[in-house]
Amino acid sequence: MESRSITTVIANDNKCQITWSDGQVSHFHALWLRDNCPCPECLHPQTRERVLDIMDVPQDLMMPTTIKIEAQNLAITWQDGHLSEFNASWLKDHCYSEHALQSRKEKLNFWNEDIARSIPEIDYDAIMQEDSGLLQWLDMMVEYGFAIVRNTPTIHGEVCKLAAKISFLKETNFGREFEVISKANPNNVAYTAISLKSHSDLPNWELPPGVQFLHCLKSEATGGESTLVDGFAVAEILRLENPEAFELLKSQAIPFRFHDEEWDLSHEAPTIGCNASGDYTDIRYHAALTAPLQIPSDNVLPFYQAYRALTNIIRAPENILELKLMPGDVMVFNNKRVLHGRAAFDPTSGDRRLEGCYVDNDAILSKRRVLRRKLQD
Ligand SMILES: [Fe+2]
């Protein structure tokens, strides 16, 4: 708590500099402070949503001379007489220095074949009975992009109960929940017995499902091993080995499409998604759902070259985690980060039955924040 006390504040034109008792320094703009005034006139006391209209504040707002510091509080009286009182701890949590922004970034653990020796896994009961177990699972999901839930009852519908610990389910054109078995008239290669190369699900949607659950109910057939590839890790390998290919896959949107009797779902997006800071946001990679390229002619051959370079990395054995799911295992993975696949299986050798469903990533992150708050109190 001590490191969150304010030692000095120096106001300078349109900014102020706060020195904390641990020696760290934060800078806040007057406009930012005024915009984030927590008084009940500016921030709705019940909804905690902003009521202040920034257009009522001059863009060239200067720091006033009247600033009172108490160890745990900063009180600013603005030129128009309005009083803003900030909690020191809140200010430190919202410091936007480069160092603070970096330290608050989610720690992602990019993995390769070594992950096989330390698979993120957790027992079903730990999740269902204790908030701490649920939080532990969500932490694994964020850090590694996947986790295996062991000892889940092998009962139809149980996977939806597990997913419901996080959120309502994301329904898609394949339904609220789906079964992965070989079917007589498949509308998707997942419903056959052939091998499925690494892919992400439903890239043909503007918002593909964030997290996929696959619950193994029966695993008697020969073959059918599941595979996972860290899409962010392989994108990073491509960035280092072949920056031109990386840039093209990041910038060139390509069309994805699924169509059957009832649906014609189509969306264009780049293969590798990054935000403005260069952090990975999503990978869309599914040969079966990639529609004929409709891109500038000059980009066609470079695109194929870049796509093949990425595919070589995705298929390199050292980047593939192979798992034989056993009854009771639920493989849960971030569909925007982790590619999944399976080896071919022999449907005549025994039953293979998986049940699956999806939830959104927002729900994972929200539940994690809510649980952290709850367990800290
Ligand atoms: Fe899939």
Looking at residue 176, the DSSP 8-state letter turns out to be S
For residues 43 and 127, state if they share a domain. no
| Confidence check: pLDDT of 215 > 80 | yes
- In this prediction, residue 71 has a pLDDT band, given cuts at 50, 70 and 90, of low
Predicted structure pTM score: 0.91
Claim to verify: residue 152 and residue 286 sit in the same structural domain: yes
In this prediction, residues 109-123 reach a mean pLDDT of: 95
Q: How far is the CA of 296 from the centre of ligand 1 (A)?
A: 29
Give the pLDDT band of residue 340 (cuts 50, 70, 90). very high
Q: Is residue 309 part of a domain?
A: yes
Domain count of the chain? 2
Ligand 1 centre distance from Cα of residue 58 (Å) = 52
d(CA 18, CA 197) in angstroms, rounded, equals 54
Tell me: do 225 and 361 sit in the same domain: yes
Q: What is the pLDDT of residues 288-339, one digit of tens each?
A: 999 999 999 999 999 999 999 999 999 999 999 999 999 999 999 999 999 9
Confidence of residue 184 (pLDDT cuts 50, 70, 90): low
Residue 63 C-alpha from the chain's centroid: 38
Q: Which of 50, 83, 103 is the last residue of a domain?
A: 103
| Residues lying with their CB under 5 A of ligand 1, a single-atom ion | 201
Ligand 1 centroid to Cα of residue 156, in Å, is 20
Residue where one domain finishes, among candidates 84, 103, 122 = 103
Ligand 1 centroid vs 249 CA: distance in angstroms?
21
Mean pLDDT score of the chain: 94
The stretch 237-241 carries a mean pLDDT of 98
Ligand 1 center–CA 341 separation, angstroms: 7
How far from 212 is each of 34, 47, 240, 359, CA to CA, in Å? 42, 32, 29, 7
Q: How far apart are CA 216 and CA 160, in angstroms?
A: 13
Q: How many Å apart are CA 8 and CA 167, to the nearest integer?
A: 45
Q: What's the 201 CA to ligand 1 centre distance in angstroms?
A: 5
Dist. CA 56 → ligand 1 center (Å) = 51
Q: Do both 42 and 99 map to the same domain?
A: yes
CA of 158 to the centre of ligand 1 (A): 20
What Rg value do the Cα atoms of the chain yield, rounded?
25
Q: 135 with 276, same domain?
A: yes
Check whether 349 has a pLDDT greater than 90. no
Residue 190 has pLDDT above 90, yes or no: no
Nearest to 115 by CA among 143, 83, 84: 143
CA 136–ligand 1 middle distance (angstroms): 25
- 76-92, pLDDT tens digit by residue? 999 999 999 999 999 99
